[in-house]
Structure 1
Amino acid sequence: MLLGTPLYAAQLTLELGANSRTWQTEQLLAHPQVQTITIPDDVSYKREMHYRAVPLAALLSGIKPEDHLQAVALDGFAAEMSAAPLLNTQGARAWLAIEDPAKPWPGLAEGKPGAGPFYLVWTDPQAGNISPEQWPFQVASIKRLAPVAERFPALLPDPALKADDPLNKGFALFQRNCLACHRLNGAGDAQFGPDLNIPFSPTEYFGMDFLKRYIRDPQSLRQWPQAKMPGFSTEVLPDEDLDMLLGYLKHMAGRKVKP
């Protein structure tokens, strides 16, 4: 591409059943609800960013709060998300940021591409404990799917557990915070990070204190230029939730299902 040549416009596929459609960049930039938003502390860019964006709820025609969605990125990142937070109009609110080909966004790091062409961002994310994994960038499609537990039974904890057992809460936290990048027992759609149970769970080869430190700040234990795992702060993943997530991983180490 010649220096100064604008990016090509892109398209976003929404696979929502009867309300499926494809949006072109130009259509989204001309959407009646498009506006400029400010993200004070962008998860991907680590600084304040400004975007032309449309409330995601305005694009999710026919979607109900109990539905389940998956946002798939160009690199295979597959964010599993309950529809309810995405439909919020107050508090933590989801937006589809649209990269204007005439005003491309900066690279996410030196020599790296930017977050475009489409990026799911949040205003007031603290109000909803929004995980870094719920900020997928380079989004290519958003799909309505059956819940994770139905699609991937190999992820399920012991079915004899009560619904309110902490291990089931840990499973829910795993879906929100880990499944976008990792599989477990070979189950999941992500093509990004290693399996978290096959051949071994990290609870089997990390001491628990170091595993907690690794999740909070991966670079504090392992530093390499290609590292992509974000840290999970106590604002996003409180200590009690982290304990339940690790409880689920430890439990699943005893429920290995080889792919």
Structure 2
Amino acid sequence: MKCFLVLLGLLIALPVSAAQLTLELDHASKTWQTEDLLKHPQAQTVQIVDDVSYKRTMTYQAVPLAVLLPGLTAESHLQAVALDGFAAELTAAPLLQQHGARAWLAVEDPAQPWPALADGKPSAGPFYLVWTDPQAGHISPEQWPFQIARIKQLKTVAERFPALLPDPKLAADDPINQGFVLFQKNCLACHRLNGAGDAQVGPDLNIPYSPTEYFGGDFLKRYIRDPQSVRHWPQAKMPAFTASVLPDDELELLVGYLKHMAKRKQQP
């Protein structure tokens, strides 16, 4: 028994293990090890005020994400895939910015592990996409994927998932199409719609029913603003989309897209 307790104590004392991040770009693929990223010549200490995941100021060792994405243009499209199936769709333009809202890949040092996200949960590591000055770029919570395992370049959402598209007769600047853009930015990382999408976290938002069909009055908007205020359960993962992240006019556009798609159901 004594030997067992000693062994258990050693296991508990072990630091977080190193990890690897796979980058799959059209023209090149590379796997980065934790140690290599921590020693990257452009790695530096960054302070994140009001961190989206930790809800407080955090300090990380991080690398500007743009330097890890050689050859990409503003029109490129990426997907960050997390260990839990969260799949954030990311346009490259904001990721490549050198000023204003700037994207960083925070790297968890096994010798100095980050705190747990909540009781009984792991940290945001091993890799976490964080932003300095996010307000300058209107960055949403879904653009802060954590526990990242892979970042890959893909075709756009519209090209990969035609079942998500609004009526093609609508003008490009129609409010419904504007809502579709907001859906990609704020919802597609966790949800599918008409069975289309890569996320495996939340339910489908159209099959068998759209939330616009079972949330009466303004309850859907209230739910998006603060999910726990409408229905509360400890395992809930959906974040609150405050007006600073999703202004009222954008929330209206997003709900308009969902209402439109409720009439365009397609079985997976």
Q: Cα deviations across residues 63-92 of structure 1 (Å, max 9, x unaligned)?
A: 110000000000000000100000011111
What is aligned with 1:253? 262
- In the alignment, which residue of structure 1 is the partner of 2:4? none
CA contact (8 A) 1:11 1:24 kept: yes
Distance 1:197 1:50 in 2: 39
- Larger Cα Rg: Structure 1 or Structure 2? 2
**Which amino acid in structure 1 is aligned with residue 23 of structure 2?**
L
Question: Who is 1:89 aligned against?
Answer: 98
Mapping of residues 115-154 of structure 1, within 5 Å: 115-154=124-163
Tell me how far apart the structure 2 counterparts of residues 6 and 194 of structure 1 sit (CA, whole Å): 35
Query: Where does structure 1 differ by over 3 angstroms across 4 or more consecutive aligned residues?
Result: none
Q: 1:187 aligns to what?
A: 196
| Aligned equivalents of 2:224, 2:26: Cα separation in 1 | 36
Matches within 5 A, 1:1-259: 2-259=11-268
Q: Distance in 1 between matches of 2:184 and 2:172?
A: 16
What are the ranges of 5 or more consecutive residues in structure 1 without an aligned counterpart?
none
TM-score (norm 2): 0.95
1:236 shift after superposition: 1.0
Once the two structures are superposed, residues 13-62 of structure 1 have per-residue CA deviations (whole angstroms, 9 ceiling, x without a partner) of 00012221010000000001000000110100111100000000010011
Q: Which amino acid letter does the alignment assign opposite residue 15 of structure 2?
A: P
Task: State the Cα RMSD in Å.
Answer: 0.8
Q: Distance in 1 between matches of 2:153 and 2:171?
A: 28
Amino acid at match of 2:212: T
Report the count of equivalent residues. Answer: 259
TM-score (norm: length of structure 1): 0.99
- CA distance in 2: counterparts of 1:255 and 1:208, whole angstroms: 21
Cα distance in 2 for partners of 1:37, 1:232 equals 25
Distance in structure 1 (CA, Å) of the matches to 2:217 and 2:198:
27
Q: Is the 8 A contact 1:19 1:62 kept in 2?
A: no
Residue 29 of structure 2 aligns with an amino acid whose one-letter code is: S
Amino acid at match of 1:4: A
Structure-1 residue corresponding to 2:5 = none
Aligned-pair distance for 1:99? 0.2
Where 1:58 maps in the other structure, the secondary structure is helix
Corresponding residue of 2:6: none
